[in-house]
Structure 1
Amino acid sequence: MHIRVIVPVLDSEELVGKAEKEYRSFADEGVTVSAVPLKRGTCSIECGFDSSLAAPDVIRCAREAEADGVDACTIACFTDPGLLGARELVSIPVVGEGEAALHMAAMLSTRFSVVITERSFFSTIRRTVSHYGLAGNLASVREAGASVMDLNESHIGHIVDECIDTVKRDDAEAIVMGCTGTGFDMALEIETALKAHFGCYIPVIDPGKVALHMARAMVATNLSHSKVAYPKPAFSRQEYGFA
């Protein structure tokens, strides 16, 4: 089985290299993971505008993946840029990390909090949660205190403090990491710290890990997205220059 991770930013070792290493560590035996960056877009996605700019090339990458014989794709960004268009364009499963993580959180809890990089992204996260029909499950949005490019292990202490506070103050029952691809299993470290503090299990959801295994499950069960819900677009349109 071959799953392609579309990393919706321009190529860089800081993001794409670390992301590929991380996603390969999540994959089971027999699953090949390849990561591809964008040719057109931004160096990181830190606002809605960045996400919108990424969408056309994400769709192109999904089309190339299907042509390459890849079994499924994931989109490695919490805002799922290009997800709708990619699902319309191809027949293989395309899983957005944000959608996968949020629905997993709703299955594992009744209230969850999302940890994102910085406060300027809070409104985008709230809109994303609302888009997937889960606004009533959102306990809060918390910040890691670092930009996408700077987020690393040194910020775990601050994130743990934010997670402890949202469980106590906002009655959060699960935590969703809103930014991944750091090159190591940050979610597991935070989950371990929360269990040590509260003395019970509180799930900390890594969107990349969940999306990868959700894509794997779709392939294994021979399922993909409904073409009634995601009908194929008309290729006669001259505007589809990238296609």
Structure 2
Amino acid sequence: MQIWWQSFVDPVQNEPYLARLGEYLNDIADAGTTVDVHGIAPGDRHFGRLTEFRCAALAIDNALEASVQGYDAFVMGHFQDPGLYEARSALAIPVVGLGETSLHWAAQIGRNIGLVTIDPVFERWHLEQADLYGLSGRISHVVGLGVVVEDFAASFAGDEQALTRMLARFSELVQPIVDDGADVIVPAGALPSLLLRGERGLTVGHAPVVNSVAVTLKSSESWVRIHELTGLEPSRGPSFALAPSGAIDDFRDLLANGRQGVQRPG
């Protein structure tokens, strides 16, 4: 089994993180599974809706390429899942979202879900996600680490003091929301989840902490196996009707060639 894991970080600027992520995913993968991690250049660097939209378009194009290359599954490895539904409607192979999977997993082991996101700017996005996934009443808290992607670099490059500081910041944010009623914690991103990769049975107070990276990989492997065993796919009615080949060709042409021959307004 071969899985394409799509990160939204720049592969050059964030090489230590992508290297650790690839090592971890392949370490915990089932025998016979290979996970290839891919970044985006430029990555998700100017936090906001427009950047998410740009990265989503690139990720969808990469999802189409993964299908062409014969991958068995595509993972949208960015918690906000931008472009997830569009990719799912364009591919026959399983398309799995880090955010969607982690939130539904958390909903099985706790009632009140607390999210720890990278930056407070994503709070509104996460609440919209929860509503989209039918979990709006289950998200009790969202807190932001208030960091940028590059702040994680030292931790993944082997700086133990940097790792200790990041973990302390995580705990500092989580304890108050557990005290206030959150009973399961989800690191809302592969970056903060990977910081916790060495922990087993991690809890803050009574609240278990979901390893979003691990549950998403294992869900992806399960989706491939279920698809092989039963042929189960997403609904191809209104929810995820497969895009016609012409729509795929137009999309990929736009990404490859831009608006050549089309006069921009103004």
TM-score (norm 1): 0.86
Q: How does 1:24-173 map to 2 (within 5 A)?
A: 24-38=26-40, 41-44=42-45, 46-151=47-152, 152=155, 153=163, 154-169=165-180, 171-173=181-183
Shift of 1:65: 1.1
Distance 1:178 1:106 in 2: 14
- The question of 1:3 aligning with 2:3 is answered yes
TM-superposition CA deviations, 1:157-185 (whole Å, max 9, x none): 1211221211112x111000012246945
Query: Once the two structures are aligned, what percentage of the paired residues are identical?
Result: 25
- Structure exhibiting the larger radius of gyration computed from Cα positions: 2
Shift of 1:191: 5.5
- The question of 1:224 aligning with 2:233 is answered yes
Distance 2:94 2:195 in 1: 25
Shift of 1:145: 3.5
Distance 2:52 2:127 in 1: 15
Note if contact 2:203-2:209 (Cα within 8 Å) is conserved in structure 1: no
Note if contact 1:47-1:124 (Cα within 8 Å) is conserved in structure 2: no
SS of the aligned residue for 1:212 comes to helix
TM-score (norm 2): 0.79
Q: How does 1:205-216 map to 2 (within 5 A)?
A: 205-216=210-221
SS of the aligned residue for 1:38 comes to coil
Shift of 1:118: 2.1
SS of the aligned residue for 1:28 comes to coil
Shift of 1:235: 3.0
Distance 2:104 2:114 in 1: 13
Shift of 1:84: 1.2
2:185 matched to which residue of 1? 175
Shift of 1:227: 2.1
SS of the aligned residue for 2:243 comes to coil
Amino acid at match of 1:224: E
Amino acid at match of 2:178: V
Q: 1:236 aligns with which of 241, 246, 251?
A: 246
- The root-mean-square deviation of aligned C-alpha atoms, in Å, is 2.4
Shift of 1:43: 4.5
Deviates more, 1:148-157 or 1:208-217: 148-157
Shift of 1:42: 2.8
Deviates more, 1:102-111 or 1:114-123: 114-123
TM-superposition CA deviations, 1:24-64 (whole Å, max 9, x none): 2331222111112235x535473322211111111111111
2:263 matched to which residue of 1? none
SS of the aligned residue for 2:150 comes to coil
Distance 2:151 2:63 in 1: 28
Unmatched 5+ stretches in structure 1: none
TM-superposition CA deviations, 1:51-98 (whole Å, max 9, x none): 111111111111111122111111110111211111111100000100
Unmatched 5+ stretches in structure 2: 156-162, 257-266
Q: 1:203 aligns with which of 201, 204, 208?
A: 208
Deviates more, 1:151-160 or 1:178-187: 178-187
Note if contact 1:176-1:206 (Cα within 8 Å) is conserved in structure 2: yes
Shift of 1:14: 4.3
Q: Pick 1 or 2: higher relative contact order, CA cutoff 8 A, min separation 6.
A: 1
